[in-house]
Amino acid sequence: MPLVQTKRLHKFFGKNHVLKGINLDIQEGEVVTIIGRSGSGKSTLLRTLNGLESIDDGTIEVDGTALVAGQGDLRALRQKVGMVFQQFNLFPHLSAGQNVMLAPQVVKGTKKDEAETIARNMLARVGLAEKFDAFPDQLSGGQQQRVAIARALAMSPKVLLCDEITSALDPELVNEVLSVVRQLASEGMTLVMVTHEMRFAREVSDKLVFMYEGRIHESGHPQEMFNNPTTPEFANFIRTQN
């Protein structure tokens, strides 16, 4: 049984059919990267996995919690699915430590000192132990994104979604975030990423999913796919990436 499974997922934005029957299995510990041109539906697919985008048809199941055509226990699902965003989205009125502590306290009812221990551990994990009391606007983009990763990890999710998490960063800050992701992958964290960092995707992914016009057009092991693209669309996509 895969950890994450979607079946015949359909999504419309008005008349625009953006996801056309997505079937995707993600095993525990797997690192899956979704690639494709903008407008291919990759971000939308990622955002349906924790219910940020509703689905019009099909099912999503994460570790036994199911959404069927958008109906189901959304909060139970979201406790199992962490998410990191392109724009970090840290709570601006809270320190880095408080950002990480908040969800365990509010959602899980964790005691304050226990939440603080969790937050200190998570910040240490992303290399920011000394930034516990810093506020988001006192941190660089890369640091903010690492705090955002720590914030998601503090809820002990089964799977972490990363939506173009380096796209808003200055080039020199990309690596510090990618190395945190690399480390998570090596620790066995299940990851689903949308990224434009092709080299990174090839390096860390167990599975590559190429989206084209709302469908999974091609998927498989990254090396094999890059070496032997089976569809002209994917071959085209690779050419334009380098």
Q: Which residues bind other proteins (CB under 8 A)?
A: 50-52, 75-76, 78-79, 81-83, 85, 87, 89-95, 97-98, 102-103, 106-107, 133, 135, 148, 151-152, 155
In the complex with other proteins, the residue whose CB is nearer, 42 or 78, is: 78
The type of residue at 180 is V
In the complex with other proteins, the residue whose CB is nearer, 44 or 218, is: 44
In the complex with other proteins, the residue whose CB is nearer, 72 or 229, is: 72
User: At closest approach, how far in Å is the CB of 166 from other proteins?
Assistant: 16
Grouping H, G, I as helix, E, B as strand and the rest as coil, residue 19 is: strand
User: At closest approach, how far in Å is the CB of 100 from other proteins?
Assistant: 10
In the complex with other proteins, the residue whose CB is nearer, 156 or 186, is: 156
In the complex with other proteins, the residue whose CB is nearer, 114 or 224, is: 114
User: DSSP H helical segments within the chain, as ranges?
Assistant: 42-48, 74-80, 96-108, 112-125, 141-153, 171-186, 198-204, 222-227, 232-241
The type of residue at 76 is A
Q: Helix 96-108 to helix 141-153 angle, to the nearest 10 degrees? A: 20
Residue 71 has what DSSP assignment? Answer: B
Chain Cα centroid distance, residue 159: 8
CA–CA distance, 75 with 107 (Å, rounded to integer): 9
In the complex with other proteins, the residue whose CB is nearer, 92 or 171, is: 92
User: At closest approach, how far in Å is the CB of 129 from other proteins?
Assistant: 16
CA–CA distance, 54 with 76 (Å, rounded to integer): 15
Assess contact for 145 and 99: CB atoms under 8 A. Answer: no
Q: Helix 112-125 to helix 141-153 angle, to the nearest 10 degrees? A: 130
User: At closest approach, how far in Å is the CB of 161 from other proteins?
Assistant: 8
User: At closest approach, how far in Å is the CB of 83 from other proteins?
Assistant: 4
User: At closest approach, how far in Å is the CB of 239 from other proteins?
Assistant: 33
Assess contact for 22 and 46: CB atoms under 8 A. Answer: no
